[in-house]
């Protein structure tokens, strides 16, 4: 953006979108085995399913939109995404305010490197030691990173925040997607994934408006990051109960 402006940024984003479209066009779907819901349902034992007659009309409507068992995991992941959206929305303005434009320009480079490096390791840890260690560590790391960058803004704390955000929202996003799909019946997995992203994308959608209300002429943008740190920590007790079993 600094070098090419808004036109250059949107042009680059558009080119990547067209590359994605080209990949879809060239994808040979015939090589993959596609299983329809009807086939999956036939393979599930009748005693494991709840028939439509046993459900109330309201529950049937809800089941067409949400996967109820996936809501707790989706909720605490949504809270971490609400904490993370403060970085996406206000980092440029905060960088100018605290005179750390150079440090913040490297934020997402560090974030991407740590994210790519940590995801395979996090996946192995999750497989061997369970979900809680990954989720608890990610939530606490992101809360610490946001708190530090608000409390003591400096080049070091900006870099620490980038690492913590990658270990937080970046790792939680993939780990919790695996949780909601793994713990759901095959015919309900599309609903579980939909529920998960309704919470994550929903909080990212209204998050900037909510957090922006805490910006004032006197205190600047630091309170936004303090509040984002607190919101991230709110995910911890929910994660504790959601992953209790």
Sequence ranges of the domains in the chain: 69-242
Average pLDDT over residues 38-57: 52
Look up the pTM and report it. 0.81
Which pLDDT value is given to residue 63? 74
Average pLDDT over residues 21-49: 66
Domain 69-242 class in CATH:
mainly alpha
Q: Which of 191, 169, 171 is nearest to 181 (CA)?
A: 191
Q: How confident is the model at residue 214 (pLDDT cuts 50, 70, 90)?
A: confident
Q: Would you tell me the crossing angle of helices 131-151 and 222-242 to the nearest 10 degrees?
A: 170
Q: How confident is the model at residue 48 (pLDDT cuts 50, 70, 90)?
A: very low
| Beta-carbon count within 10 A of 202 CB | 14
Q: Identify the weakest region by mean pLDDT among 39-53, 119-133, 162-176.
A: 39-53
Which pLDDT value is given to residue 211? 86
Instruction: Please tell me which residue, 184 or 19, carries the higher pLDDT value.
Output: 19
Cα-based distances in Å from 137 to 150, 183, 186, 240, 243: 20, 21, 29, 12, 13
Average pLDDT over residues 138-161: 95
Instruction: Please tell me which residue, 30 or 234, carries the higher pLDDT value.
Output: 234
Q: How confident is the model at residue 245 (pLDDT cuts 50, 70, 90)?
A: low
Angstrom distance (rounded) from CA 25 to CA 16:
14
């Amino acid at each position: 953006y600094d070098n090419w402006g808004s036109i250059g940024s949107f042009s680059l984003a558009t080119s990547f979108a067209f590359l994605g479209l080209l990949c879809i066009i060239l994808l040979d779907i015939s090589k993959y085995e596609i299983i329809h819901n009807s086939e999956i349902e036939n393979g599930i034992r009748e005693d494991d399913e709840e028939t439509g007659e046993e459900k109330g009309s309201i529950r049937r409507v809800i089941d067409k939109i949400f996967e109820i068992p996936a809501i707790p995991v989706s909720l605490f992941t949504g809270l971490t995404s609400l904490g993370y959206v403060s970085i996406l929305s206000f980092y440029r303005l905060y960088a100018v305010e605290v005179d750390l434009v150079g440090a913040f320009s490297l934020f997402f480079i560090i974030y991407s490197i740590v994210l790519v490096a940590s995801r395979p390791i996090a996946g192995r840890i999750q497989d061997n030691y369970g979900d809680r260690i990954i989720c608890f560590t990610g939530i606490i790391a992101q809360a610490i990173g946001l708190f530090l960058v608000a409390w003591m803004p400096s080049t070091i704390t900006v870099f620490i925040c980038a690492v913590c955000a990658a270990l937080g929202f970046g790792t939680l996003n993939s780990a919790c997607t695996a949780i909601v799909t793994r713990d759901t019946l095959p015919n309900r997995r599309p609903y579980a994934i939909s529920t998960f992203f309704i919470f994550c994308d929903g909080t990212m959608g209204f998050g900037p408006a909510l957090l922006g209300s805490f910006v004032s002429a006197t205190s600047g943008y630091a309170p936004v990051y303090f509040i984002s740190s607190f919101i991230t920590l709110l995910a911890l007790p929910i994660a504790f109960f959601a992953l209790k079993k």
